[in-house]
Amino acid sequence: MRLRFSRKMLGIPYAVFLLFFVIIPMLVILFYAFTDKEMHLSFENFIRFFSDPTKLSTIVYSLVIGLITTVVCLVIAYPVAYILARSKMKKKFVILLLFVTPMWINFVLRVNAIRELLNWMGLLGEANYFNTIFGMVYDFLPFMILPLYTTLLKIDESLYEASADLGGNAFTAFTRITLPLSMPGIASGITMVFLPSMTNYVVSDMLGNSKVTIIGKFIYEYFGTNWHMGSMVALVLLIVVLLSTWLTGGLKEENNARGTTL
């Protein structure tokens, strides 16, 4: 019997690919996290993870670094996106492009450029935490600007006119119109910045003189020594990722700045 062609079948290769290289690896992590070296079921990694003070303090450090990076990015990106979105300039997209262009330079080369700048300023090795946050803000800023710009651009100009007609001043217009309507953009920006700034140890290693340890770095350290513990850390990160995506209402695909092609 000849199998009848159906358009649905075109998805089979990708379904198999996802199964083998996305679903199974997640299950493997889950399996390793809850087994010991003899592959017996064990909660030892779980208990060790949550009773080790250095681990817990690193998690707090990572959260704080992620939080500061996110807040600084938001404080810089919001005015930039707002000014550009509401500007009547014809070529404003060229300026927006200028904010995004550095993103296309290789990530490590970009961090290396910041490293050279900090070295030149005499800060490298002196202010490890400052350098790490500086580098993260620099690298992740476009991820915040883009979703904010797209949501702010969609706000109908007539809403502002209505607000002015009804006697609202600039402040009420901002708190009653701009801010609520840009919430989806803020949420996307936060997910795009917060997660990598907690886990991307390339920045903290290259700029923090290897003195700043964030959660992602644990996985690297355990990769050489203890896969079971490494998997436990990865599993915790996975749960953090799922929780924060759920809290921010899910990453809107249209606002995904990494997916931006110009």
**Using CA atoms, how far apart are residues 218 and 234, in angstroms rounded to an integer?**
9
Binding flag, residue 93, other proteins (CB under 8 A): yes
Binding flag, residue 253, other proteins (CB under 8 A): yes
**Using CA atoms, how far apart are residues 104 and 257, in angstroms rounded to an integer?**
13
Binding flag, residue 171, other proteins (CB under 8 A): no
| Local structure of 30: helix, strand or coil | helix
Binding flag, residue 245, other proteins (CB under 8 A): yes
Q: Which residue pairs from 70-73 have beta carbons closer than 8 angstroms and sit at least 24 positions apart in sequence?
A: 70/190, 70/193, 70/194, 70/197, 72/133, 72/137, 73/137, 73/140, 73/141, 73/143, 73/144, 73/189, 73/193
CB of 238 to other proteins, least distance (A): 6
Binding flag, residue 141, other proteins (CB under 8 A): yes
Give the residue, chosen from 3, 10, 41, 166, that forms a contact with other proteins under the rule CB under 8 A: 10
Give the residue, chosen from 36, 52, 249, 259, that forms a contact with other proteins under the rule CB under 8 A: 259
Binding flag, residue 113, other proteins (CB under 8 A): yes
Give the residue, chosen from 21, 54, 167, 225, that forms a contact with other proteins under the rule CB under 8 A: 21
**Using CA atoms, how far apart are residues 161 and 173, in angstroms rounded to an integer?**
10
Binding flag, residue 98, other proteins (CB under 8 A): yes
Residues in Cβ contact with 244 at an 8 Å cutoff, skipping those fewer than 6 apart: 191, 194, 195
Nearer to other proteins (CB atom), residue 162 or residue 242 = 242
Residues numbered 51-70 forming contacts with other proteins, rule: CB under 8 A: none
Question: How many residues at the interface with other proteins, by CB under 8 A?
Answer: 83
Residues numbered 175-204 forming contacts with other proteins, rule: CB under 8 A: 191, 195-196, 198-202
CB of 208 to other proteins, least distance (A): 10
Residues in Cβ contact with 223 at an 8 Å cutoff, skipping those fewer than 6 apart: 230
CB of 253 to other proteins, least distance (A): 6
Token pair belonging to 177: 């119109």
